[in-house]
């Protein structure tokens, strides 16, 4: 079995050439045979029409006129010219004496036949038809009626040897049989050479791709360099695009791993420091309680971080399962607004909402709560003391929820990165509140998992506006979701 594409392509080219040669040779052979038979039949018919007038009735016996038969120009001694009565008796004959009489030839009007010397078997051909014959001396024969007193008195038959036709056809067959293998070898060699030329860019592309590893994918050269704009060039550009995405993914993974390690190292260092201080010497119970509270806070921070990382990991692997149900987004936002308003009342923040009476969509209630709590937590971390407005509206098949604040806003250079993992506009302030820089990234992933998205803008005058776009009913939902607790 051919193991290389080049050999398979060469064999395929040779096979196709063999098929073409077979069809073309068969067509040429049959066409030539048909044309030669038509030419012979046409000559026989012309001779027969001319010779009918030479038949005479002498004392009730039919025969050709004495002397040379007008128009009876036999091409060789193997040709035949004869008169046959209706009962099959030959009354006059010129030329080949051993050609058998066919009963089928004593009927019809100008029928043509192929007759063999061996057994006299023939197949009648109406008009300009073709007949099968063997190699034992075959003839082409035409039989036309001889009229007398308005009735058919006998049949005039003219036959001609098919040896010249057989010789021409055999010569063509020998030529095809000898030229076929030569053409096949040339097609095989040409196909192998052409396949090599065609596959050379692909082999070069394979070698360049094999030299790329995870550590060098970012420093690679474009695979599509020096390639034409054809199928191979487009394949190389597709590989370039794929490798670019892989390089971005590797870079993002390394940065994610480094950031996660850094985020986990901080609480672990604090925990170790607290424990070391507590074990350094005996202390009062109150100090131990204070140390345990500090440890508890760091453990809770680590627990939130691990939970956030688990959500993002599941989303990256398409394993974030959504338990969708019918959710009233207006009721959800009213309860969340009341909750955060009560918690931040002492910090001077005010929360207002403009929500329709009822606005249903198909979503996972727990994930929506996580999404909007992350947005509100981001507002409280970066815009303390500001006024926050929450609005919702339906438009076509979409629900649009807007969370806007009157804080200092986000600098333009930070806006493109605001939803990246572990990205912080103000790292010091985020760490002080226990943030990990994953809240907005998780909110973005939850919106995408629902078939929606989140947009952010920061007007020049200050303030930040987040807009969450969610589909009204992306999938079939249970008719009623869980009750939303305030």
In this prediction, residue 465 carries a pLDDT of 92
Say if residues 340 and 376 touch (Cβ distance below 8 Å): yes
CATH number, domain of 114, equals 3.30.450
Instruction: Confirm whether 220 is domain-assigned.
Output: no
Structure tokens given for 92: 């006059």
pLDDT in tens, 292-345: 888 887 787 777 777 777 777 766 666 677 888 888 999 999 998 888 888 776
Are residues 161 and 59 both part of a single domain?
A: yes
> Among 281, 316, 351, where does a domain finish?
316
Instruction: Confirm whether 485 is domain-assigned.
Output: no
Are residues 250 and 378 both part of a single domain?
A: no
pLDDT band at 290 (very low <50, low <70, confident <90, very high): confident
pLDDT in tens, 54-79: 888 777 678 877 544 444 455 555 58
| Cα–Cα dist 272/370, whole Å | 31
Say if residues 6 and 196 touch (Cβ distance below 8 Å): yes
The radius of gyration of the chain from alpha carbons, rounded to an integer in Å, stands at 50
Instruction: Confirm whether 349 is domain-assigned.
Output: yes
| Cα–Cα dist 116/96, whole Å | 12
In this prediction, residue 316 carries a pLDDT of 65
By C-alpha distance, which of 387, 385, 326, 383 is closest to 359? 326
Are residues 20 and 134 both part of a single domain?
A: yes
| Cα–Cα dist 163/171, whole Å | 12
Are residues 295 and 238 both part of a single domain?
A: yes
Cα-based torsion angle of the residue sequence 397, 403, 406, 411 in order, rounded to the nearest 10 degrees = -80
Q: How many CB atoms lie within 10 A of CB 18?
A: 16
Instruction: Confirm whether 193 is domain-assigned.
Output: no
pLDDT over 90, % of the chain: 10
Structure tokens given for 109: 């009007």
Instruction: Confirm whether 200 is domain-assigned.
Output: no
pLDDT in tens, 122-155: 444 444 444 444 445 788 889 888 888 778 888 8
Q: Per the structure, how many domains does the chain have?
A: 3
Are residues 265 and 307 both part of a single domain?
A: yes
pLDDT in tens, 388-441: 999 999 888 889 999 999 888 888 888 888 888 777 776 555 555 555 678 888
The residue range of the domain holding 132 is 5-63+74-174
In this prediction, residue 221 carries a pLDDT of 64
| Cα–Cα dist 266/298, whole Å | 9
pLDDT band at 259 (very low <50, low <70, confident <90, very high): low
Say if residues 443 and 374 touch (Cβ distance below 8 Å): yes
Are residues 44 and 115 both part of a single domain?
A: yes
pLDDT in tens, 206-233: 777 777 766 666 666 666 666 667 777 7
| Cα–Cα dist 465/455, whole Å | 8
Are residues 146 and 243 both part of a single domain?
A: no
Q: Which uninterrupted H or E stretch holds 368?
A: helix 365-382
Give the chain's end-to-end CA distance (angstroms, integer): 72
Nearest-5° angle of CA 483, CA 336, CA 360? 50
Q: How many CB atoms lie within 10 A of CB 410?
A: 19
**Residue appearing with tokens 């005058």:** 461
Instruction: Confirm whether 215 is domain-assigned.
Output: no
CATH number, domain of 413, equals 3.30.565.10
Instruction: Confirm whether 129 is domain-assigned.
Output: yes
3-state helix, strand, coil in the chain (%, to 5): 50, 20, 30
> Among 295, 316, 337, where does a domain finish?
316
Instruction: Confirm whether 225 is domain-assigned.
Output: no
Are residues 415 and 306 both part of a single domain?
A: no
Q: Which residue has the higher pLDDT, 351 or 128?
A: 351
Are residues 421 and 359 both part of a single domain?
A: yes
CATH number, domain of 281, equals 1.10.287.130
Are residues 256 and 125 both part of a single domain?
A: no
> Among 128, 149, 174, where does a domain finish?
174
pLDDT in tens, 96-126: 667 888 888 887 677 888 888 764 444 444 4
Are residues 269 and 246 both part of a single domain?
A: yes
pTM over 0.85? The answer is no
Q: How many CB atoms lie within 10 A of CB 442?
A: 22
184-188: Cβ within 8 A, 24+ apart: 184/14, 184/17, 184/18, 184/21, 187/13, 187/14, 187/16, 187/17, 187/18, 188/10, 188/11, 188/13, 188/14
Structure tokens given for 204: 């070069």
- Who contacts 199 (Cβ-Cβ below 8 Å, separation ≥6)? 5, 6, 9
Are residues 305 and 329 both part of a single domain?
A: no
By CB neighbour count within 10 A (0-12 exposed, 13-18 middle, 19+ buried), where does 461 fall? exposed
Say if residues 461 and 368 touch (Cβ distance below 8 Å): no
Between 202-206, 376-380, 392-396, the lowest mean confidence (pLDDT) is in 202-206
> Which neighbouring-strand residues pair with 354?
391
By C-alpha distance, which of 452, 432, 433 is closest to 443? 452
């Amino acid at each position: 079995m051919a193991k290389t594409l080049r050999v398979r392509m060469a064999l395929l080219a040779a096979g196709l050439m063999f098929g073409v040669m077979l069809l073309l040779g068969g067509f040429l052979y049959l066409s030539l045979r048909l044309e030669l038979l038509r030419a012979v039949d046409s000559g026989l018919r012309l001779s027969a029409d001319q010779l009918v007038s030479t038949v005479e009735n002498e004392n009730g016996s039919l025969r050709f006129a004495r002397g040379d038969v007008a128009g009876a120009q036999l091409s060789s001694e193997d040709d035949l010219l004869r008169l046959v009565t209706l009962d099959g008796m030959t009354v006059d004959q010129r030329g080949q004496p051993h050609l058998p009489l066919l009963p089928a030839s004593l009927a019809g009007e100008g029928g043509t036949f192929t007759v063999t010397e061996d057994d006299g078997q023939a197949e009648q051909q109406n008009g300009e038809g073709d007949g099968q014959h063997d190699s034992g001396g075959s003839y082409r024969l035409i039989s036309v009626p001889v009229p007398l007193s308005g009735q058919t008195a006998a049949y005039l038959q003219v036959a001609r040897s098919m040896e010249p036709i057989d010789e021409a056809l055999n010569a063509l067959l020998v030529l095809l049989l000898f030229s076929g293998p030569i053409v096949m070898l040339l097609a095989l060699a040409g196909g192998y050479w052409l396949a090599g030329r065609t596959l050379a860019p692909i082999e070069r592309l394979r070698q360049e791709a094999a030299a790329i590893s995870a550590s060098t994918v970012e420093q690679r050269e474009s695979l599509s360099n020096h390639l034409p704009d054809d199928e191979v060039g487009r394949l190389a550009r597709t590989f370039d695009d794929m490798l670019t995405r892989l390089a971005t993914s590797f870079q993002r993974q390394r940065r994610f791993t480094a950031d996660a390690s850094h985020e986990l190292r901080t609480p672990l260092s604090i925990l170790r420091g607290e424990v070391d201080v507590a074990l350094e010497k005996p202390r009062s119970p109150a100090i131990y309680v204070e140390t345990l509270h500090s440890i508890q806070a760091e453990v809770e921070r680590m627990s939130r971080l691990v939970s956030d990382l688990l959500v993002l990991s599941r989303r990256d692997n398409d394993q974030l399962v959504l338990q969708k149900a019918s959710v009233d987004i207006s009721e959800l936002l009213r309860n969340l607004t009341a909750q955060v308003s009560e918690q931040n009342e002492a910090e001077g923040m005010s929360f207002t909402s403009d929500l329709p009476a009822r606005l249903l969509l198909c979503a996972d209630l727990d994930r929506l709560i996580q999404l909007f709590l992350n947005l509100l937590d981001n507002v409280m971390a970066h815009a303390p003391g500001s006024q926050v407005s929450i609005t919702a509206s339906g438009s076509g098949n979409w629900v649009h929820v807007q969370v806007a604040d009157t804080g200092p806003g986000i600098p333009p250079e930070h806006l493109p990165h605001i939803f990246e993992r572990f990205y912080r506009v103000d790292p010091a302030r985020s760490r002080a509140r226990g943030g990990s820089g994953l809240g907005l990234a998780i909110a973005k992933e939850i919106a995408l998992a629902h078939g929606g998205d989140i947009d952010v803008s920061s007007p020049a005058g200050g303030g930040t506006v987040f807009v969450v776009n969610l589909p009204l009913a992306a999938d079939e939902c249970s008719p009623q979701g869980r009750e939303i607790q305030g």
